[in-house]
Amino acid sequence: MSFVQFPEQQQIVQVLQRSLERNRLAHGYLFTGNELRELESMALTLAKTINCQSPVLGANGVAIDSCDQCDSCRRMEDENHPDMNWVRPESKSRVITIDQIRSLLQTVNLKPTMSPYKVGVLVCADRLNIQAANAFLKTLEEPPASSILILLTTEPQRLLETILSRCLRLNFSGERKISPEEKTWVASFAQMAGEAKGGLLGRYRLLGVLLGKLSESRETIEKTLTARSPLSRYDDMDQKLRDKLESELTAAVEAEYRRQRADLLVSLQLWLRDVWLQTVSQTDTWLSFPELQELSQKVAQRIQAPEAIENLQILEQTQRRLGTNVQEALALEVGFLKLKL
């Protein structure tokens, strides 16, 4: 991707491009917003631009965008660039550990291999454990030359204040976008919920539909990320490197799966908000899914406004539980069986 592919974030693009033109890039950035995927794409685009071999030049001859075609850009796109490092929460503990940070810092403290800058990107930086956060803080205070560190999070309030104060924070505007696929799935869920009539068996069926969708999502993610991994292209790599890449792939699959699961539950929460709105008014004003108003009304006619609000609180609690090490199926079952539908 290049900066021109972020039409809804032109204010941030302009800030970054002005910094590029003036040669005043920060050593540490914090990208915050509702869409982790968008934050990752912007971090990747910035990394491509500062290391691009054939960049788009501004008025003063300084790179302000990537070509998105050169060897450096392609390597970064494939996460196969020696001067760019991605750090994601580990698959089991779902935290960024001090060992991961030490490995990152060891790399960024070396001179760039094939590009002007070393770039480190921390995905879900709010998942830094306390030891990792303190180790990382020292580097933010005295960043290595020719290095840029980019932290990404949808929950900046979970970061240490000392880390927040040492990063240039860029807030991405806009509400979370609901994909056409999500809209289609929510429509099928709403249809089933409208016909379920609030019984226990009906809620179990809805739970089964959700679990089936999540299983399908995980399978798709595994196929997509495995195809992108260097593991699928090189059979003769060193075993130590292979083990490292396999571990990173597992962590990347888990991180992307959890992101998509959270997005799916947010979509359901938006529809349940529509149900609540229908318990207090029959208008389609403020509905997230106006095309599903009839189905929202069906459920709204069976419950009261306080119960509709409780549904929203239940999904929020479920999301928080899923952020811990709780068993997924159990957390979803406990939440869904409490819903008033």
Predicted confidence band of residue 149 (pLDDT cuts 50, 70, 90): very high
Identify whether the C-beta of residue 71 lies closer than 8 Å to the C-beta of residue 53.
yes
- Class in CATH terms, 180-338: mainly alpha
Classify 79 in phi/psi space as left (phi over 0), alpha (psi -120 to 50) or beta.
Answer: left
Which residues is 149 bridged to in the sheet?
28, 120
- The 10s digit of each residue's pLDDT in 268-307 is 999 999 999 999 887 777 888 999 999 999 999 999 999 9
Please tell me the predicted confidence (pLDDT) of residue 175.
Answer: 61
Q: What is the dihedral of CA 185, 327, 323, 320, to 10 degrees?
A: 80
* CATH architecture of the region 3-171: 3-Layer(aba) Sandwich (3.40)
288, amino acid identity: S
Q: Which residue has the higher pLDDT, 142 or 268?
A: 268
- Check: CB of residue 24 under 8 Å from CB of residue 13: no
pLDDT at 203: 86
| pLDDT average, residue stretch 112-127 | 92
Q: Collapse the DSSP code of 190 into the 3-class scheme (helix H, G, I; strand E, B; otherwise coil) and give the result.
A: helix
More confident call, 121 vs 178: 121
Q: CA–CA separation, 332 vs 319, rounded Å?
A: 9
Angle, alpha carbons 152-153-155 (nearest 5°): 165
Cβ partners under 8 Å of residue 36, min gap 6: 123, 124, 152, 154, 259
Question: Phi and psi at residue 121, in whole multiples of 5°?
Answer: -120, 120
Indicate the domain borders of the chain.
Answer: 3-171, 180-338
Pull the structure tokens for residue 133. 């956060």
Q: Is it the case that residue 211 has pLDDT exceeding 90?
A: yes
Q: Write the pLDDT tens digit of every residue in 153-191.
A: 988 888 888 999 899 999 987 666 778 888 999 999 999
Q: Is the pLDDT of residue 92 over 70?
A: no
Q: For position 91, what pLDDT does the model report?
A: 56
pLDDT of residue 176: 64
Contact between 309 and 279 under an 8 Å Cβ cutoff? The reply is no
Q: Which residues contact 113 (CB under 8 A, 6 or more apart)?
A: 82, 83
Per-residue pLDDT of 226-271, as tens digits, reads 888 888 777 777 888 888 788 878 887 887 888 889 889 989 999 9
